[in-house]
Amino acid sequence: MRFARGYLWNKDGDGGVVTVSFAWLEGADRALGLPSYETAGAAGADLRANFPAGERGGLVIEAGARALVPTGLRLEIPQGYEVQIRPRSGLALKHGITLPNSPGTIDSDYRGPLGVILLNAGDRPFVVNHGDRIAQMVVAPVVQARFELVTELSNTARGEGGFGSTGRG
């Protein structure tokens, strides 16, 4: 297996560098490159559909259906971080394409193929073409909490109010 090392970091290089390493899956189109930030202020790096050789004609997702779209990658996330997979707002607005498990969480100890579950919430079929930007990945720190069982919780002004209790909608 050959590895492509990807560095996801701010373009100014002024700190906050987190290295996420990638490995190509067999048959992946390496010409598509690694996930990338499109602007200096982008929080998410774009992920592309990367179908295996011989399957690059595209994938039709019928209205109301979902599909697992391959990226051609595996990744290694540093301990203490996660990768969140999020929808692309343009696909959601224009075509109703979103992620049913948004955000999708990739844990630092996962080493399998990186796939994106797309849901067509639109009213017509949607074609995912090889190389299309299908989602974005955000690298985020992880805090693992300590959980404890108590007999009482502290009081707050809000109390048990939920589901619209602080305002309309």
Is 101 known to sit in a ligand binding site?
yes
Q: Is 154 annotated as a binding residue?
A: no
The token pair that represents 129 in the structure block:
């073409």
Residue 57 annotated as part of some ligand binding site: no
User: Tell me, what's the pLDDT at 169?
Assistant: 56
Q: Report whether pLDDT(9) > 60.
A: no
- State how far the Cα of 38 lies from the Cα of 50, in Å rounded to an integer: 18
What value does the mean pLDDT take over residues 15-35? 92
Identify the CATH number of the domain in which residue 131 sits: 2.70.40.10
pLDDT (tens digit, 9 = 90+) per residue, 44-79?
999 999 999 999 999 999 999 999 999 999 999 999
pLDDT tier at 15 (50, 70, 90 boundaries)?
Answer: low
Per-residue confidence band for 11, with pLDDT thresholds at 50, 70 and 90: very low
Which residue carries 């990807």 as its tokens?
A: 6
Containing domain of residue 46, as a range? 3-141
Is 155 annotated among the ligand-binding residues? no
Residue at 67 is within a domain: yes
**Structural domains counted in the chain:** 1
Which percentage of the chain shows pLDDT scores above 90? Answer: 79
pTM of the model: 0.83
Higher pLDDT among residues 169 and 84, named by residue: 84
**Is 169 inside a domain boundary?**
no
Is 106 assigned a ligand-binding role in the annotation? yes
Among 11-20, 66-75, 90-99, the range scoring the smallest mean pLDDT is 11-20
Report d(CA 111, CA 64) in Å as an integer: 30
Which residue did the predictor score with more confidence, 1 or 86? 86
List the one residue out of 38, 26, 24 whose CA is nearest residue 133. 38
**Residue 73 corresponds to which tokens in the numbers above?**
């990658």
User: Hey, what's the torsion of the CAs at 146, 82, 19, 1, to 10 degrees?
Assistant: 120
Q: Is 107 annotated as a binding residue?
A: yes
* Residue 120 annotated as lining a ligand binding site: no
pLDDT class of 144 with cuts at 50, 70, 90: very high
Q: How confident is the model at residue 162 (pLDDT cuts 50, 70, 90)?
A: confident
Q: CA nearest 137: which of 37, 21, 4?
A: 37
